[in-house]
Amino acid sequence: MSKNKFYVTTPIYYVNDAPHIGHAYTTILADVLARFHRELGDDVFFLTGLDEHGQKVEQAAQKRGMAPQAHCDDLAPRFRDLWTRLEISHDDFIRTTESRHVKVVQAILQSVYDKGDIYQKEYEGLYSVAEERFITEKEAESGQFREVKTIKEKNYFFKMSKYQERLIKYIEDHPQLIRPEHRKNEMLGFLRQPLGDLCISRPKSRLSWGIEIPFDRDYVTYVWFDALINYITAPGYGTDEQKFKHWWPASVQLIGKDILTTHCIYWTTMLFALDLPLPETIFAHGWWLIGDSKMSKSLGNVIKPLDLIEQHGVDAVRYYLMAEMVLGADCNFTPENFIKRYNSDLANDFGNLLNRVSGLIGKYFESVVPPCVEPTPADLEIVRQGEALGVKVQALLQEYKVDAAINEIMNLIRAVNKYMEVQAPWKLAKTDLPSAGRVLYVATEALRLSAVLLRAVMPQKAERVLEILGAQGTGLAWGGLKAGTKLETHPPLFPRIEVEKQ
Ligand code: MSP
């Protein structure tokens, strides 16, 4: 396998927010892709971080009677610690208040200004305090924006409109840029209206918690213009050209559908202004919903990942989030669905197969893996499915169909459980021990292959399965499990969740 480069990003989360399942979802998704690409031998850079400037942060700090930086420093560990608990394997964690980022933002502002793509003008318009941006009349009428007031002030503007035609053409020529397809169409629809210029400054008289504009010290940078730049600061833009050239453009930038415009319009045109290539893909996933509403702090309906981890373990949480949501569509979170999927996929299918093979090899072979002698057509059918699985999963993940990839793995597990039922090695063991051994080898080897593939999703439990099978470090070729290996004894890895009948 040739060593490809894979650079994946998550949005940088607002430091003020208490992390919930929505934030955890994007980050786990990026982690699964990063781990999978590492598994393939690719060179991976996985970036996540925090968005720390802007009015909301300033106000929250004021409320607590703290300096904004101290407030951010105090809150940042909530995200960092959660990522550790969730086994997130990021390579860098960027905070927009770090000097490495501030310097890059200022250098970019200066160069875009020098180039003539930033200008000053007086502007009177509707401003949403909650969203921290000027909005159009139409947006105001939509009722989706809170705390709207009219503001008249001098500001700096980025000539986004200049790049409108180029962006339309680029999107049309690069269908993989905005995915899924319906989001691409949404953005092309948006671009049918004339694109305005982007107000990228805030007067310090109104907001001081931001990156100072280098050519006018009375202003700070609009939080989105600052935040988006994190994606190039971290891989070394302006500081380490070699590193930057290696990583940029990003392979995939994962976002929720709520921040589609900022990424597909603001970010892309900013990159045009900087003469930088656009990312290969911006992938917008749907929302986790509670009932009909988006899970969000302002609605007070959030599910806290730590509570779920405490109850069911990290791997079960990661598995559920990845298997349940069809990438691109919204998904309802309910504790009932969580338990249902856990019990069916992990306790009944995956966990049960492990318990069965290790129990039977324990009982009839003193826990030593038997050889597979003279495989029958039924055995070879499982071998065929097992050998095909890696390629199938890889193809689906390359299409960002994580749920479908997991389902393929589970299909093999289900096929092996059926094969066990039909072959009944517990019966064979009484009359024909080598045949019982053959069946158990095939089933255990298929389980090992599934565990190798599930390692990206469930790093702890899948690794534990491989440990039990004495097969750590093995890959996707059939036969990684060696006859003669002594299996470890273990308690069930996925005990059923018993729901008390009301
Ligand atoms: N700070 C900006 C992003 C700047 S990126 C340069 C921001 N932050 S946020 O904290 O609000 O996080 C937004 C991201 O969190 C979403 O794009 C999405 O990836 C994730 N989610 C937050 N709530 C979500 C759901 N209810 N469901 C799924 N993901 C959502 O916007």
Nearest of 17, 44, 41, 46 to residue 29 by alpha carbon: 46
Nearest of 429, 116, 138 to residue 273 by alpha carbon: 116
Top CATH class, 335-501: mainly alpha
CA distance 345 to 385: 19
What is the CA(403)–ligand 1 centre distance, in A?
Answer: 20
Nearest CA to ligand 1 atom 6: 228
Task: Work out the number of other CB atoms within 10 angstroms of the CB of residue 122.
Answer: 8
pTM of the model: 0.95
Ligand 1 pocket member 54 (CB < 6 A): no
Amino acid at residue number 187: M
Tens-binned pLDDT, residue by residue, of the chain (502 aa): 457 999 999 999 999 988 999 999 999 999 999 999 999 899 999 999 999 999 999 999 999 999 999 999 999 999 999 999 999 999 999 999 999 999 999 999 999 999 999 999 998 989 887 877 788 888 888 888 888 999 999 999 999 999 999 999 999 999 999 999 999 999 999 999 999 999 999 999 989 999 999 999 999 999 999 999 999 999 999 999 999 999 999 999 999 999 999 999 999 999 999 999 999 999 999 999 988 788 777 777 778 888 889 989 999 999 999 999 999 999 999 889 999 999 999 999 999 999 999 999 999 999 999 999 999 999 999 999 999 999 999 999 999 999 999 999 999 999 999 999 999 999 999 999 999 999 999 999 999 999 999 999 999 999 999 999 999 999 999 999 999 999 999 999 999 998 865 4
Nearest of 155, 264, 136, 265 to residue 200 by alpha carbon: 155
Nearest CA to ligand 1 atom 12: 13
Token pair 């400054």 in the structure block, residue: 201
Ligand 1 pocket member 23 (CB < 6 A): yes
Nearest CA to ligand 1 atom 19: 256
Determine contact, residues 171/189, Cβ cutoff 8 Å.
no
Q: List pLDDT tens digits, range 19-76.
A: 999 999 999 999 999 999 999 899 999 999 999 999 999 999 999 999 999 999 999 9
What is the CA(187)–ligand 1 centre distance, in A?
Answer: 18
What is the CA(10)–ligand 1 centre distance, in A?
Answer: 9
Residue 286's contacts (CB-CB under 8 Å, 6 or more residues apart) are 256, 257, 325, 327, 328, 329, 330, 331
Ligand 1 pocket member 14 (CB < 6 A): yes
Ligand 1 pocket member 51 (CB < 6 A): yes
Nearest CA to ligand 1 atom 20: 23
Instruction: Tell me the CA distances in angstroms from 411 to 114, 392, 393, 441, one per residue in order.
Output: 58, 12, 12, 19
Residues in the chain: 502
Ligand 1 pocket member 259 (CB < 6 A): yes
Structural tokens at position 224:
């989105």
Ligand 1 pocket member 231 (CB < 6 A): no
Task: Work out the number of other CB atoms within 10 angstroms of the CB of residue 139.
Answer: 16
Q: List pLDDT tens digits, range 378-407.
A: 999 999 999 999 999 999 999 999 999 999
Ligand 1 pocket member 227 (CB < 6 A): yes
CA distance 399 to 488: 37
Rg (CA), the chain: 26
CA distance 195 to 166: 12
CA distance 108 to 105: 5
Domain ranges of the chain: 335-501
- Per DSSP, 298 falls in state G
